[in-house]
A and B are shown apart, each in its own frame.
Chain A
């Protein structure tokens, strides 16, 4: 039998050193007794340490996951923890992957111990309540806490990082932690009477606690699951839990029973600030009207109507298909990746975007949500038809000479019927009202082409199409 005595309750290094030596000497877990100096169990240990512990040669590898688990589990209050950890280590030496087997009883037990320690640490971070001694500037903050496991050293650095600018002490029966503004120190445990018993802010805190509680939704079990009663004795707000619960039903009943009072008449309320006055400008009032469009169901899920933009004097009108994700969020047409592609092509073709009116055939974004993204959906004919009134009214407000339809949806809106792009692309076509129209692809089509060579080729064709518009723009500038 090997008797190992560790220096203190949280002596991980001592345990690790002894355990390593024991494993290297193939000492079976059943042949080791673990104790902590000063503990009762130590009484049964022989007066001098076992001889083989003097020999310490060689190392072996265990996964980092075990070391992490062991460092936490060793803080558990169960006196068997050193033995359980040694048993697991002994088995891990020849079976490295055992640590991943959540169903192994030893792994499960050590995991549960580590979890209990982490939970206790978390609860200490949450439930420590400082009380002020002295007044601000020279004040010292002192708390009393009763941890379930040996977690004071584990939990203290959190408070040092959080309350770096104030001196504090956390007193516990096991160990006390102190911060003087520069360094952490630890002293032996003390009794509760050493800690201050009140704080000038506690009444205010209790008032807050009582006010933030909604008596109409009493769920006492849910509260106790997260804030077990064992913590209550050191929480200033706990003293009012019982009266609050007792009063809750009466208060809710009263709320329901009491008829509503006559509505309070506010004096002069300013006009609801969210309503905007329609602007005088034609295009502006169109835009305002379109913002409330309910002609089809697409408005329901979209953020906003994305209306056309550009100068009223534009003689070229670019019509896209529908706004995408970015356009829907920003409320402006062609600001996303397709917009950037369009800008580049326009520049290369020699078209001044600032002098062009840019809009879409359909003015709400159509999509299906897929987790955290919205997948673009092609608008159908009824939706294109429903939206066409806006396009028509934009045309009559702008009076453009040339309308460039980009993509099939746009072509359908411009020509009033399904119009294949392939046949009509790149030619100037006269519309029934005498205006000219030009059909080309949508820039997002270029973005979707997977083959870089085809992409390049199609992009060049797109620029060529836009050059026709550029020619027209120049002509009309000269004419003006």
Chain B
């Protein structure tokens, strides 16, 4: 099998992993002339976008799509009839370097089906990274998938070469993982995440302690995970609760939500439907509220409930808490401003800086890049006050819903 054909099989097998980021790592470059590559610590670079709207930043492939496990949601499960392939270590290395040289990618995201044993698989994955770093002095971004319960020494080595490590929790609830992936053990996944966090903490302490000559390097871009949404019956509350728990426990940089999508040769036990993309989008919005806006899971969605699909979660929250509005933009605290529908973190910073010198008026909203339709019923400006009782209207939500359209008749 030629490398091109292998690439098709092994990229196809990797495309259900939603992670794409190449940001948040240390600053590196190759200006010493000894190797190739650099990283942009602030913002990763998306080199292309696929028609599914997702960024292509890294060469995202599996080392092999052969797998011992038989996880129902996975296209690579042992019982699936998809064609199988396996890159040699050198093939994966060469492809990464060749693509990188042409500026197609920011680096490599390498995962693998589990073959022989967790340790053997992890060793293969680490070998690619080792070769890139040590033989070719590759300074680009490397994201490695960690195999649960792999040997501690292998994990440490992975962290030495990789910018980011990840391990997918896959399902929001332990029971669904047992149902869909009987060989996967959520406890083992969590133990590995816990080990990663301890190592990340240690490396951070090393960096901040000035006494040590050379700090231990361990995955400077931290760890992330992915949850599949819509394959089981977990509610959004359950999903977000799991995320909050993962963020707190393991200091994850990101939890990715991957709307379950039909896969070739899908198992009969799974729903064959279009992926719930809007639900996935709402979960990302809610996740954002937890991480950057100071919202608690319980505030975003009630027990066992789902996020509304017609309006975004912050707007839904505001509609449930109308007594807190309207808010005077020229006086409200940062925390309060962050809860106004349509106000992003950057807009709030700009508002706070601006109002030190001048008052904010109706006409300023556009320059602050605030969507007026969304924000106006909830705010007071020096020349704007929402119509009295507007906030009390039952039908306020109608204002925000997408316009209803007549169904077509087909001619």
Interface residues of A (CB under 8 A from B): 97-98, 100-103, 105, 108, 122, 125-132, 141, 143, 158-166, 181, 199, 201, 203-205, 207-223, 226-227, 235, 237, 241, 244-245, 248, 252, 255-256, 258-266, 269-270, 272-274, 291-292, 300-301, 303-304, 326, 328-331, 367, 369-374
From DSSP, what is the main secondary structure of chain B's interface residues? loop
B35 within 8 A of A: yes
Count residues of chain B with CB under 8 A from any CB of chain A. 103
A372 to B294, CA, bound (A): 11
Nearest neighbor of B36 in chain A, beta-carbon distance: A165
Is B103 a contact of A269 with CB atoms below 8 Å? Answer: no
B328-386: which residues lie under 8 A (CB-CB) from chain A? 350-351, 353-354, 356-358, 360-361, 364, 367-368
Task: Please judge, given known A-B contacts A130-B103, A163-B101, A260-B267, whether A218 and B52 are in contact too, CB under 8 Å.
Answer: yes
Which of A237, A261, A369 has a CB less than 8 Å from the CB of B247? A369
Q: Pick 30 A–B contacts, CB within 8 A, sort by A.
A: A102-B367, A102-B368, A103-B361, A103-B367, A105-B367, A127-B48, A160-B31, A161-B31, A162-B36, A164-B30, A165-B35, A166-B101, A201-B102, A205-B102, A208-B8, A209-B50, A211-B9, A212-B60, A215-B52, A216-B262, A216-B275, A219-B277, A255-B262, A259-B268, A273-B149, A303-B249, A304-B194, A329-B250, A372-B247, A374-B248
Tell whether, in the assembled complex, residue A101 and residue B99 are in contact, meaning their CB atoms are under 8 Å apart: no
Query: Known: A252-B274, A300-B174. Is A226-B248 also a contact (CB below 8 A)?
Result: no
* Distance in angstroms between the alpha carbons of A130 and B47 in the assembled complex: 12
State in angstroms the CA–CA spacing of A199 and B191 once bound together.
46
A237 and B367 contact, Cβ closer than 8 Å, known pairs A212-B14, A328-B249, A371-B247: no
A165 near B247 with CB under 8 A, answer no
Does the CB pair A273–B118 fall under 8 Å? yes
A150–B245 Cα distance when bound, in Å, is 47
Residues of chain A lying within 8 A (CB to CB) of residue B361:
103
Shortest Cβ distance from A161 into B: residue: B29
CA of A100 to CA of B353 in the docked complex: distance in angstroms? 6
Of residues 152 through 186 on chain B, the ones whose CB sits less than 8 Å from some CB of chain A are: 174, 183-185
| Contact, CB under 8 Å: A261 / B265 | yes
What residues on B are CB-neighbors of A241 within 8 Å?
51
Q: Tell whether, in the assembled complex, residue B45 and residue A372 are in contact, meaning their CB atoms are under 8 Å apart.
A: no
- Residues on A with C-beta less than 8 A from B357 are 97-98, 100-101
- Contact for A274 among B4, B16, B53, B183, CB less than 8 A: B183
A101 with B245: CB separation less than 8 A: no
Using a CB–CB cutoff of 8 Å, the interface residues on chain B facing chain A are 3-4, 7-9, 11-12, 14-16, 29-38, 40, 43, 45-56, 59-60, 68-70, 78-81, 95, 98-99, 101-104, 114, 116-118, 148-149, 174, 183-185, 187-188, 190-191, 193-195, 197-198, 244-245, 247-251, 259, 261-268, 272-275, 277, 294, 350-351, 353-354, 356-358, 360-361, 364, 367-368
Residues of A within 8 A of B60 (CB): 212
Closest A residue to B364 by beta carbon equals A103
Q: Which of A216, A270, A331 has the most CB of B within 10 A?
A: A216
- Among A100, A126, A301, A370, the most chain B Cβ lie within 10 Å of the Cβ of A126
CA distance A122 to B49 in the complex (A): 14
A131–B259 Cα distance when bound, in Å, is 37
Distance in Å from the Cβ of A264 to the closest Cβ of chain B?
5
Bound Cα distance A222, B36 (Å): 32
Q: Would you give the shortest CB distance from A180 to chain B, in whole angstroms?
A: 12
Among A98, A141, A260, A301, max chain B CB count under 10 A is at: A260
Known: A122-B43, A216-B274, A226-B55. A161 touches B38 (CB 8 A): yes
B70 contact set on A, CB distance < 8 A? 266
CA distance A468 to B53 in the complex (A): 68
| Contact of A212 with B56 in the complex, beta carbons under 8 Å | yes
Q: Given known contacts A207-B4, A217-B261, is B183 in contact with A272 (CB within 8 Å)?
A: yes
Chain B residues whose C-beta falls within 8 Å of the C-beta of A127 in the assembled complex = 47-48
B104: which A residues are within 8 A, CB to CB?
129, 205
> Given that A261-B265, A263-B79, A304-B191 are contacting pairs, would A207 and B7 also be in contact in the complex, using a CB cutoff of 8 Å?
yes
In the complex formed, the residue of A with least CB distance to B244 is A369
Contact among A158, A211, A266, A374 with B15 in the assembled complex (CB-CB below 8 Å): A211
A-chain residues with CB within 8 Å of residue B45 when the two chains form the complex = 122, 125-126
Chain B nearest Cβ from A438, distance in angstroms: 32
| Cβ–Cβ contact B194 & A328, under 8 A | yes
- With A100-B357, A162-B30, A201-B102 as given contacts, are A274 and B148 in contact (CB-CB < 8 Å)? yes
Name the A residues within 8 Å of B11 (CB-CB).
Answer: 208, 211-212
- Measured between beta carbons, the chain B residues less than 8 angstroms from A165 are 30, 33-36
By the criterion CB–CB under 8 Å, are A304 and B249 in contact? no
Q: Is the CB of A102 within 8 A of B350?
A: yes
CB of B166 to closest CB in A, whole Å: 17
